Structure 1
Amino acid sequence: MPRSFRLVSLLSAYALVAAAMWLSLSPVAEALPAGEHVPADGRDRHTTHPAMRRSHVFNSDPGTKVLTSEELKNEELTNKESTRDSSGESKSVKLTFYWGEVQTEADSGDVILGTCSGKKLASVSEAFADAAVMEGTATLSNGKTINLGGCDCENYMCFMETDGPIGTKGNTLVPYYSVAAKNISYGTTLMVDQLKGVKLPNGKTHNGCVRVDDEGWGLVNNQIDWYVVTEANYKSLNKLVTEEKVDITIQDCSIDE
């Protein structure tokens, strides 16, 4: 082979290797800042990852202890005490939203949602199934609420029926006052300046106090994920709370339950 041809071949090979390395280093999707809507499969998303976000995967295996209301309260007090040293210090964190999916007629399909033990719960569209996994909770057309269970979710057989949306400890989430976080202890109450005075879809006015009732695997350390019940509520509140970052202070305050 002539030298010139060998040189061209070598350059071509180097170019292919460089292209492969560039593709492998391409960045993943970033979290959407507050105030922006991006359609995905016909649904608006304001989450931290396009696939899965929440980590309140409640382990329903036999032997797992579900805390009672009194035990949950005691754990909240313990965690508040452990974070008291940092109370009073304001910190700027990223704000995102989450909600439960609600099945409609448009969400019918042949994808089976079921329990970890194999019980069928519903037949839905793939888009709805993916959304239910991402948000971690959903309300089916029969009115029943399902949440992620304690098993792998590759085949959508990973849910359990519950009385309502639940958090990390199997606790019921409080609309507009529960948040998910990664590096703030469960039960910690936070004052969020940007939520004070916000008119809520239920007609009430937010007092700025929220509580860490959940956590998320797609969350970063300096971030809180606000539980707003439905996607429709997210759309309306996202127009009122448009800041990408909010100021939080760890302090004793009362949520509106």
Structure 2
Amino acid sequence: MKSTIILAIVFLCMLVNAKPLNRRSIKACYKNARLTQYWIPKEGDKDMLNDGKVVTLSGSKTSSLKTTSGSTIAKVSKTTYEKFQMEGTGLLQNGVMVNLDSDKDTFLKVDRDESPYGLGSTDNNHLSPWVSVASNDMKHGSKLFIKELKGVKLPDGKVHNGCVRVDDEGWSFSGCQIDFFVLQYSAYQKLQDILPEHVTVTEDSSCKILNYVTAAVKKWAVI
């Protein structure tokens, strides 16, 4: 009888201390994770260089976006070429999207039927504006809840629910950082003074992923 009572008490303690199945523990540093943003540079738009200088991605088309086979996808200005290299992807005014291929000097055309807003870091990850994030220590496809993102009004007018998904990896940082895909440099400009530099992140498989793309966003993306 005593053993039965003891087992019952142990079981009750386990239930009290158990975490919800949809929430998983992640690194403690994610209670104060660094938040950054990234976007797709578009030919003809204003954008920012590594030194913080704002430039327009235009000018004499002297640089060729070449494939690994040596064929030319398009010619762009030197500034545009270097920005596409830096971000790893870029959007031409005619709607062609390119992504770095096997090295920093070769590009491939993105299949925009499959990946209208760009490629994630694996074949099965396609970027979604204001949903996709890059992380180097989270499993691909993980749904995350960012407390400070909930209720934020996005540049397209929609309000974010705080739920994002790991679709990408970052080459310019290590761990305990979330790089938020905001699609456009103009969106970054509007959000940089709204979003904090550090956020609280939890992993939550029940987080509802929403669609924040509007007609205006599709028009910008040439879709």
Instruction: Normalising by structure 2, report the TM-score.
Output: 0.71
Change (3 A) 1:167 1:107: farther
* Counterpart contact for 1:109–1:124, Cα < 8 Å: yes
Residue 101, structure 1, aligned to residue 41, structure 2: yes
* Aligned with 2:111 (options 158, 162, 167): 162
What is the rounded CA distance, in whole Å, between the counterparts of 1:85 and 1:145 in structure 2?
Answer: 36
Q: CA deviation at 1:109?
A: 2.1
> What is the match of residue 196 of structure 1?
150
Change (3 A) 1:107 1:185: farther
* Counterpart contact for 1:88–1:250, Cα < 8 Å: no
Question: Where does the alignment leave 5 or more consecutive residues of structure 1 unmatched?
Answer: 1-82
Residue 121, structure 1, aligned to residue 73, structure 2: yes
Instruction: Normalising by structure 1, report the TM-score.
Output: 0.62
> What is the match of residue 161 of structure 2?
207
Which protein is richer in helix relative to its size?
A: 1
* Aligned with 1:130 (options 64, 82, 94): 82
Q: 1:195-234 deviations in whole A, cap 9, x for unaligned?
A: 0100012211000011000001212201010000010010
Sequence identity, in percent?
39
> What is the match of residue 249 of structure 1?
202
Give the counterpart letter for 2:103 in structure 1.
Answer: D
Q: 1:64-122 deviations in whole A, cap 9, x for unaligned?
A: xxxxxxxxxxxxxxxxxxx9642697621111110001001724421111222222111
Residue 142, structure 1, aligned to residue 94, structure 2: yes
Query: Could you list the runs of 4 or more consecutive aligned residues of structure 1 that deviate by over 4 angstroms after TM superposition?
Result: 87-90
> What is the match of residue 216 of structure 1?
170
User: Secondary structure of 1:228's match?
Assistant: strand
Superposed CA RMSD in Å reads 2.1
* Counterpart contact for 2:110–2:119, Cα < 8 Å: no
Give the counterpart letter for 1:139 in structure 2.
Answer: L
Q: 1:143-195 deviations in whole A, cap 9, x for unaligned?
A: 1111222x111xx3233333131101233211001000111110011110110
* Aligned with 1:92 (options 29, 32, 51): 32
> What is the match of residue 152 of structure 1?
103
Question: Where does the alignment leave 5 or more consecutive residues of structure 2 unmatched?
Answer: 1-21, 45-56, 212-223
* Aligned with 1:239 (options 193, 196, 206): 193
